[in-house]
Amino acid sequence: MKIVADNTVPYLKGILEPIADVVYLPAEEFTPDALHDADALIVRSIDKCTRNLLSGSKIKLITTATIGFDHIDTQFCAEAGITWKNAPGCNAVSVSQYILGALADLSLKTNKPLAGKTIGIVGVGHVGKKVEKVCSAIGMNVLRNDPPREEIEGKSNFVSLNTIAEKSDIITFHTPLIKEGKFATRHLADTIFFKKLKRQPWYINASRGAVHDTEALLKAYQNGQISEMVIDCWENEPDISRELLKSASIATPHIAGFSADGKANGTRICLENIATFFHLSIDKIVDVIPPVPLEPIIDMNMFASNRIEQALLKPFNPLVPDKALRAEPEKFEWFRANFHHHREFHAYTIANATLREAALLQQLGFIIKSLNQ
């Protein structure tokens, strides 16, 4: 069996070689000639699995190490009998911790505490649920908007998009990109939406760039309808709006889900999809494990003030990739391909925390070192 894999899918090399002929290629080398005799593909969002790429191949399975799958021509796959699989939830924790880090940065910048703020979460699926969990833990009030879930579960736990606009201090989007139909999300945040904002909220997009209308977003910011912007996902990536880059409080190159743990989860799910589809046993899947952090102990006594916020930013601070992207925005894809995958909170142990700090940080996923350890 021949498998072609994107060469930037982490923790993959050496895992499938005992059972398959594996070819690793950069995205630009995913061509019809290179793929025509492959049985399966392992891809990322940068690998555009189009009709032109797939036509005439003997590919039976495409498995992507991402939650999103808009880079796969699913209609052609249905026509050609190609099965495709994504990795739902693989980086949900990573995105939620990115959101929390961005909020911590903004809290420090504006000197406004997060506890008591109302956050409107648009899209409460795998990622939105994790965002809700961490925001609730730090004392924020959560409003949830998810029309597909509301249709199934009823209205009691959800609010309208109008309510999100009117009552939220912070608005964060976690929807897939759906271009048409009843639950279309393309340009969900448009001029009409922004005009309904009441509290000059912080605006966050860590889902898909086209969920917002860039021109409408910029106009809303310029008009003072939005006070701060955190942009991880951009329209027309990698050719991102330089004006939006300049205006955003935090700007990152679509890496919110790029924790080492999230990447390992995505790779593991791809391997499980291959094993299930081809009825194989992949013994080395247990070796897909991210490395231990270089500094796994976070000593709370190293922080003179704002100890909780500083602890949250220790594993990963969004302002680091923000600085790099502002300096060289033309390297958007290079930053993504060469991103240093940080570990999530559960890989870190907190030392010298007060009882209140320990309770909160443990709830967020950190390990707490007891006094007698």
Which residue out of 71, 254, 268, 343 is catalytically annotated?
A: 254
- For this structure, is 237 an active site residue? yes
- For this structure, is 153 an active site residue? no
Say how far apart CA 63 and CA 48 lie, in whole Å.
12
CA dihedral 104, 107, 108, 110 (to 10 degrees): 150
Say how far apart CA 158 and CA 179 lie, in whole Å.
23
- Report the DSSP pairing between strands 61-64 and 40-43: parallel
φ/ψ (deg, to 5) at 284:
-85, 5
DSSP for 171-240, written as a single string: EEE------SSTT--TT-B-HHHHHT--S--EEEE-S-GGGB-HHHHHHHHHTTS-SEEEESS-TTTTS-
- Rounded (10°) angle between helices 260-278 and 92-110: 160
- For this structure, is 326 an active site residue? no
Contact predicate 161/183, CB 8 Å: no
Which residue out of 71, 187, 208, 336 is catalytically annotated?
A: 208
Which residue out of 237, 272, 333, 357 is catalytically annotated?
A: 237
- Cite the active site residues: 208, 237, 254
